[in-house]
Amino acid sequence: MAKPIAPIPHKDGIAPSFVGLPQGDWPLVLDFLIVRFPHVAAADIRGRLLRGEVVDEAGTPYAVDSPYRAGTVLWYYRPQPEPLTVPFTETILYQDEILLVVDKPHFLPVTPVGRYALENLQTRLRQRLDNPEITTLHRLDKETAGVILFCQQPAHRHAYHALFESRQVQKTYEAIAGFRRDLVLPYVHHSRIENRDDAFTVQEVAGAPNSETAIELIEQRGEYAHYRLAPHTGRKHQLRVHLAGLGIPIVNDAWYPELMPDKGNDFSSPLQLLARTIEFIDPVTGEARQFSSQRALAWPEPSTMS
């Protein structure tokens, strides 16, 4: 079933949600919603109906006594958690009618999630450029800074997604991490990465490799080094888990090799990982594209370096 067309616009860059009304014997829409959302207090649902915050396919608000009609759709905006403000600004590196290239700061998620439902890069761009169709074309961790691509027109998203799926996009990253004198560089690291059962992190396990990263040394300072990383595959947290697995974790990594407590509002120790460049042949225009981040990584303070 295709997603129905929303009768209400995006709000603060967030798309409205919808629920299809199945066959059932609920007398009122209110009765259905109380059963459908057991984690929400019945008084809160009633209040949303009284305020006209739930609408039908025509955008007409449901009332507390609106009868239930199976086969229709209702629309609403999800309540957003207390927002977390990220005090860093993105930079637009390139923009045309289709493509949008952005230099993302550390700590800013790419898409809405949890406390970042409003404070994320996609929502910021939709508001800034007054375009609710702006959509990310690939992933970049919240903790990672650097170059990321967005599409401004839905009709062209598939063409760009196909580039990533067929590995026709070349990406390089940079990181400040530990230094191993016995690790001969450049080096290509292969391993099998799988999700952990009890966490959102991943781990390297025995088995046929499903990930590959080329590692080059840019500069060494005492116990730390500046690396260039070229992932051939795009596994979740690949660069972070690869360097941690080699015994040279990225500076300020709170997840690898050991999961640390949530940093919350502490923005003082950004993960020293940067998506430096991205290159590809534009599937729409046929042009060779190459974009580079203008951001810089930070070495650990001298007092912590040998």
Is the Cβ–Cβ distance between 6 and 75 less than 8 Å?
yes
Same domain, yes or no: 67 and 105 = no
d(CA 111, CA 140): 10
Tokens linked to 245? 């697995």
Same domain, yes or no: 67 and 198 = no
d(CA 27, CA 22): 13
Residue 84 within any structural domain of the chain: no
Q: Does the pLDDT of residue 232 top 70, yes or no? A: yes
Domain end residue (candidates: 76, 106, 127): 76
d(CA 150, CA 30): 39
Return the pLDDT at 306: 46
Tokens linked to 5? 């067309």
Residue 7 within any structural domain of the chain: no
pLDDT tens sequence across 260-288: 877 767 899 999 999 999 999 999 999 99
pLDDT tens sequence across 132-161: 999 999 999 999 999 999 999 999 999 999
What pTM was computed for the model?
0.75
Distance of CA 282 to the CA centre of its chain: 22
Residue 85 within any structural domain of the chain: no
Residue 291 within any structural domain of the chain: yes
Return the pLDDT at 265: 76
Same domain, yes or no: 182 and 275 = yes
Return the pLDDT at 136: 96
Same domain, yes or no: 218 and 281 = yes
d(CA 188, CA 98): 35
What mean pLDDT value characterizes the chain? 92
Strand partners for 250: 177
For residue 303, name the pLDDT band (cuts at 50, 70, 90). low
Same domain, yes or no: 224 and 190 = yes
Same domain, yes or no: 146 and 36 = no
Is the Cβ–Cβ distance between 147 and 293 less than 8 Å?
yes
Tokens linked to 259? 């999961």
Number of domains making up the chain: 2
Same domain, yes or no: 99 and 50 = no
Tokens linked to 43? 């008084």
Tokens linked to 247? 């015994």
- Host H or E run for residue 165: helix 157-165
pLDDT tens sequence across 13-27: 677 889 999 999 999
Return the pLDDT at 49: 94
Residue range(s) defining the domain that contains residue 31: 17-76
Q: Does the pLDDT of residue 301 top 90, yes or no? A: no
Tokens linked to 265? 């509002």
Q: Does the pLDDT of residue 212 top 90, yes or no? A: yes
Q: Does the pLDDT of residue 305 top 80, yes or no? A: no
Is the Cβ–Cβ distance between 52 and 88 less than 8 Å?
no
